[in-house]
Amino acid sequence: MISAPAITRDAPEWLVSDAPVPYPDAVAAMEAHVAAMARGEAGERIWLVEHPPLFTAGTSARAEDLFNPRGFPTFRSGRGGQWTYHGPGQRVGYVMLDLRRRGQDIRAYVHGLEAWMIAALDRLGIRAETRQGRVGLWVPDRRTGGENKIGAIGVRVTRWITWHGFAINVDPDLSHFEGIVPCGVREHGVTSLWREGITATMPEVDAALMATFAEVFGRARDAAPPDAPAPARRA
């Protein structure tokens, strides 16, 4: 695991894993770090990973949206949302921020994730957009006139600490998505940077994310309000 840059009081620590991380191990590591943050024993962290192929179910996942002809592992994640695929060639970002220091507004946080991903993709030459009633980021399909999904979001918030996060399709095997109805959306497909003609490397995607984070989220406040009530989880 590579760390860059070092943690400060008002900027998150960045971690980049250089080998695929088993999904259960990632969830356990996030859970431990979030608990340490809640106790005031750890700072904010953004962890960029890839996973071996699997499907994860959010809190709204429906059994009929899983087909899984290849028999990939499945995992109930506890995050918001429906079925999502993770696998090699996809950059997953686990975002552990302290909303006690960033405004206790989960909807604003999710909009911030969307804006951050849009800004990073724009640096790489992709214009992605959000759509009312559809979670994630979308780009036009020049072949069909429709739209395809290039980025997904699924978050969880525990005691005002965020975890889970987002996924950007860099160059995954897009046929793997055929094992689910991604995020419950049947009428649109999925795409990737490489399918759209942007042959960015994973380090280039990471650099774009690091360069644009502060444009959207800025710096955390110095102090958290005491004993604020907090939800256990949200989508």
Which residues are catalytic, by number?
183
Phi (first) and psi of residue 108, to 5 degrees: -65, -35
Residue type present at position 183: C
| Residue carrying the six token digits 């989880």 | 233
CA gap 182, 185 in Å, rounded = 6
What is the DSSP pairing of strand 147-158 with strand 189-190? parallel
CA gap 1, 16 in Å, rounded = 6
Listed in sequence order, the residues at least 6 apart from 131 whose beta carbon sits closer than 8 Å to its beta carbon are 138, 147
Angle CA 144–112–187, to nearest 5 = 25
Residue 165: closest CA among 71, 67, 44: 44
Cα torsion 32, 87, 141, 79 to 10°: value is: -30
| Residue carrying the six token digits 């759509």 | 131
State which H helix or E strand residue 205 sits in.
Answer: helix 202-217
